[in-house]
Each structure stands twice: as structure tokens, then as C-alpha cells.
Amino acid sequence: MTIRKEGLINDLTIGSVPKTLLTFAFPLFLSGLLQTVYNMVDMVVVGNVVGPEGLAAVSIGGDFLMILTFIAIGFSNAGQILISRFVGEDRKDKVREMIGTLFTLFILIAIFMTIFSFLLHKNILNWLHTPNESYKMASEYVVTCIFGLIFIYGYNLVSAILRGMGDSKHPFIFIAIASIINIILDLLFVAKMGLGPFGAALGTVIGQASSFIFAISLLYKNKEDFHFDFKKDSFHLYKDVFPSLLSLGIPMVIQSAAVTFSMLFVNSFVNTYGVTAVAVTGISRKLESIINIISQSISSAGGAMISQALGANKLERVPKVVYTALLVVFVPAFMMAMLTLFKPEWLFGLFTQDKDVLLLALTYVPVAMVQYTGATLRPASFALINGSGNSRLNLSVALLDGIVARIGFALLFGIYLGFGIMGFWYGNALAGIVPFFIGFSYLLSGKWKKRASATLR
């Protein structure tokens, strides 16, 4: 009897690789696009209603959220890969144990991070060199998001479980719910009621809470499909799967943390250049996130496909997934690059009409070209590294990309060579290309084939 079932559970090891990848990745892309859109709406509404100071507050608040969520991202990615592997091996008992372990771990981490971040949020805002003009608004924004952290962790958890089962449609529906609610509440709280960044954060938290409620309801309604009964005794750290989750999850958490903290390190230097520089950096990250969501959706879909393929010992599909992932991301990245290159005033003008911000934004255009290049090359490599469950290589990428390259390049260009803010921008962008060289060297070496015979406990 197979664990695979039409609907919530799908077999990603059959059919054409391009068709399967696109079919699975498309809802993930739409999910990311909606999430990006409602995050952009925060900045568009705040930027036009409050001004550059509000833009800077939301931008720094977004940086703060990166600190709060890097653990959730790392372990949810690891959980997704392991569930995909167990589905490929048709091991229903391990799927059930992994779900129980993930729930227990995420609840504990969410409680800890909520307390930790609330106690230290002022210290972190000071470390990020938050401009005085934006400090109060940034503080209100992050405190509001802190108390909604449990919903962010919960959504990441349920979405990882569903994606691991081959279901990318329902996570899209959940994020659509959050997006619609957030956009409506942004217009109400910020534009109509004048609550500023606090209103934007409140709308985000309410949207995420609604999304999580719908997600957990779906999981409970279909609990038989997942062999998880939601009884009290089922929520604990199962000794047969917890070591595997830690083995793969810790390097992924380190990778996420290295990238997150290295970006924050670079941004802390950028923030010293004032509100205008912070606003430009925040806007540019939102524009770059349009390509990043495509990159991340392809990386996630490709990783799940590779994990199931290795579990089912269908090695011939792995290189096809990698090359298809590279090609799929190139097309939209090229289109976005052309739009940024030839219509930068229009793009940045969506967020603000402040002349100083728009003038500085034009200098960011060549940096964006480098950023888009990295977003094009990364997903295929991460799909292979994560999908194969190679925790050591994942850790190597984390250290090289997050620590050595990003911080090293930023300090080299920004301080040692005296390029100033442009040097910090370029350092961050160039680091994003590093994973490509590691991933494709791994592909050509053929060492990933050994992962098919590796036993996941």
C-alpha cells in the first residue's frame, strides 16, 4: 500500500521533470509573490502616508523579523526535505513521527524566541543603528510582530509538512488569505486611521494569524492522510527521527543565520548613512524579492523532487531537475533586470516621491543587476544540496556565503577600498553568487548519488 495519494499527497518522481517542477513550483511562486506583494504594500502605503522615516522604520523592522524567523526557516526546510524522503521511501510511520517532532520543536522555539526578542528588542535596534527619526516607529513595528511570532512559526511548520507531502496548492491558499487581509487592514489602519508602521505590523500579524488558523484546520481535517492524530501523547521529540532533523536542520539554521546576520551586519553600516539610504535599501530589497521568491520556490520544489527521487532511487531525474531549475529562473530574472535597467524611476516611484530617495535609488541599478544574477544561479544549487540532505556541504555554503563572502566583500569594498555605501551594497550582492559554484561542483562530482543509499532514521 502506497503512502502517495491524489490531492494532499503527490508523487514527484513520475512524469516529465520540467512539467512536474513547474506544476509543483507554481503555487509556491504564487505564495511567495503574494507574500512579497503584501510586504510591498506595507512599504508603499507607509512610504506615501508617513514618508521616508516610516519607510526606514518598516525596512529596519523587516530586518528585525529576519532575526526572529531564521530558525523557523532552517528547520522547516529540513522537515520538508525529510518528509519528502520518507514519502519517497513509503515510510508512513516516519512521516507521522516527523510531524509530531516538528510541532513540538516549533512550539518550544517560538516561545523562547518571543521572550528573547521582546527582552532584547531595544538592544537589537541600537545594534542596527536605527536612525533617531525612525526609532519610535521601528520599535512599535517590531514589538507588534514579536507577539505574532507564534503564527509565523506555525504557518512555516504546516506549509513545510504539506510541501513535503507534495502539496504546494494549499500553502498558496493560506498565504492568499493572509495577503488579502493584510492589504485591507493596511489601507484601514495606515491610510485611514493614521496608525503608521504600527498599523502595518498589526495588519500583518492579523493576516498571519488568520492564515495559520486555516492551515492548522486543514491539517486536522485530513489527519488520517498524515497518520497524525493530534493527541497530546503524539507531541514529543521522537528519538528515531529527531537526530535526523537536527543533523540536517542545524546546518540549515546556521546557513539561514549566517546569511541573516551577515546581511544585518552589512545593513548596520548602511543605516549609518541616514534615513534616505535606509529607505533606498529597503525598497531595493522589496524589488529584488520578486526574483527571490521565484528562486526560492524553484529551490524548494526542486529540493522536494530530488529528495523523493533519491528516496525512490531514481537518480536519472536529479540532474534534470537541477538544469531545469536553472533555466526556469533565468527568464523572469532577465525580464526584471530589463525593467529595473530601463524604468528605475517608475519602479522606485511606486514607493515614494521623495526626490532624495529617488536620486540615490538610481545609483543602485547596477547593484541590482548583480543581485538578479545571484538569484538566477542559486536555486538549482540549493535544490541539489538541500534535496540530497548533505548537511556538511550545507554548512560550508552557510559559512562561505554568509560569513566569508558577504561580510568580507562588504568590508573590502565599503571600508578598505573606500567605496562607501556602494561598497556595502556590492558586497551583499556578490555574496549571493557563491552558492552556484559550490552546488555545480557537487553536481559534476557525482557524490550526490551516494545519498540515495544513505539511510535516514
Question: Is the predicted pLDDT of residue 160 greater than 60, yes or no?
Answer: yes
- List all residues 6 or more positions away from 447 whose beta carbon is below 8 Å from its beta carbon: none
Q: What is the pLDDT of residues 73-99, one digit of tens each?
A: 888 888 888 887 787 777 778 888 888
Question: Is the predicted pLDDT of residue 2 greater than 60, yes or no?
Answer: no
Residue 343 inside a domain? The answer is: yes
Count structural domains, the chain.
1
At residue 3 the predicted structure's pLDDT band, cuts being 50, 70 and 90, is very low
Residue 10 inside a domain? The answer is: no
Question: Is the predicted pLDDT of residue 175 greater than 60, yes or no?
Answer: yes
- What average pLDDT does the chain have? 80
Residue 109 burial by Cβ neighbours in a 10 Å radius (0-12, 13-18, 19+): middle
Residue 9 inside a domain? The answer is: no
Residue 341 inside a domain? The answer is: yes
- Per the structure, the complete domain to which residue 350 belongs is given by 17-453
Average confidence (pLDDT) over 180-185? 86
- Residue 67 carries which side chain, given as an amino acid letter? I
Give DSSP secondary structure letters for 254-269: HHHHHHHHHHHHHHHH
pTM: 0.66
Residue 404 inside a domain? The answer is: yes
At residue 7 the predicted structure's pLDDT band, cuts being 50, 70 and 90, is very low
Greatest CA separation for the chain: 65
Buried b (16+ CB within 10 A) or exposed e, 86-101: bbbbebeebbbbbbbb
Residue 5 inside a domain? The answer is: no
Residue 188 inside a domain? The answer is: yes
Residue 115 inside a domain? The answer is: yes
Q: What is the pLDDT of residue 5?
A: 44
